[in-house]
Structure 1
Amino acid sequence: MAERGNPRAERTRAALIAAGRRLYSERPVDAVTVDDIVQAASVGKGSFYNHFVDREALVRAISSEIRGQVETAVSRANAGVEDPARRMARAVCTYLRFALDGPEPAGVLVRVHSGHTSLTAPLNRGLVEDIEAGLASGRFTVATVEAAVLYVLGVTQMALVGVVQEPTLAYAVSLSQQMCALILRGLGVASAEADLIAAQASDEIVRKGAFSVTAAPADATH
């Protein structure tokens, strides 16, 4: 594998990731070959294998990078928020705002699912912890953590697909409010409260973009 820290090697790796991200946002993973990737990156095929063992390794690297960026935004959105129900709605809204701000990486998330439903996946740690906290406090009433994780991920993924297909603010706001309310009701939150929490999260995060992936942190000017 290429030595990390070498400027030329880093540029090549970045070009491969950028090319893969663009191609995977447009086509199913199985429809993209290594030849397609190196051609789009304008590098030799040998250079690909200097950085990635195979195509799946590139997919994992791209997917983890994107999800890590979104999870950072989710952490900002939920800083200081203790209620598991509000945290859930705000996290979902952050993902849907991401689809507006970054249609290309959001397109990748729509097409790449490998390993993302596992309770032990590092990128699902926050979701699992929020569900566990909700169950422990009686805020949520689902049967198991696993069922809740699959439910939340499934609804969020389909909502993400919707916004990728129709990337307008009005649609994203409406859909995020409906989907967050649906998720919270499914987790056991009373309908009226679920609607209120969903409306507040959708307005602040999706409509106003307060915690989008591309937004600067709140203390960036200090």
Structure 2
Amino acid sequence: TLGILPAQTPGSFLDPEMRAFLEENTEVSSSGHLTPEIRLRLLTPRCRFWQERADLWPYGDPFWAIYWPGGQALSRYILDNPDAVRTGSVLDLGSGCGATAIAAVMSGASQVLANDIDPIAGMAMVLNCELNNVKPFPILTKNIIDTELDNWDLIVLGDMFYDEQLANSLHPWLRKCSRTHGTKVLIGDPGRPQFLGHRIHGKLHKVVEYSLPESTRQENNGLTSSIVWSYQP
């Protein structure tokens, strides 16, 4: 649990109008990513809003509709190394499409909580759980950085170090989670300059590096690989 912060049940995201919009304006995809065994509703070149004016999109920026390379690496690692999560509790921070949380469920985690500040991401996660025949996990659509957490065995976060202010908030919070509860932390990132140049980088141990599929490279300005890091404060 998160103590004073109750997670929403999956059913609370099932707004019929929103569901219909997401199903109409995303495409089910499993190819071109590091995890072909996970199917996701994503924004692809065949979708209307790939070319449409951004201001016509009726919700917040759909970051959840992209399978970002850091999340791909984390999900691949968890699927290949189920012992990293099996029978443990996993918090997926900045979950987006929910792929890493889904990978944790598939790999036998006993408790999974997905967190993203965008409530539309919560709807997308419910749809993606359905696509993969995974029982939906609790979802929390609030900013929990700097809050007091209960003891999670593992926190996973991908592609969260794109903004200096966010990174500066994440570092001390992750350090506190790790030192207070012994929580393990895995970070996925393709080597963005904001991440490589941040002071947290000196506290990381490289776990595994994956070569990115060509389509993911094209969507991410030519970045060629994505790395899973273990945070060791």
Shorter-chain-normalised TM-score: which range? 0.3 to 0.5
Q: What TM-score results when the alignment is normalised by the length of structure 2?
A: 0.31
Structure with the largest fraction of helix: 1
Larger C-alpha radius of gyration, 1 or 2? 1
Structure with the largest fraction of strand: 2
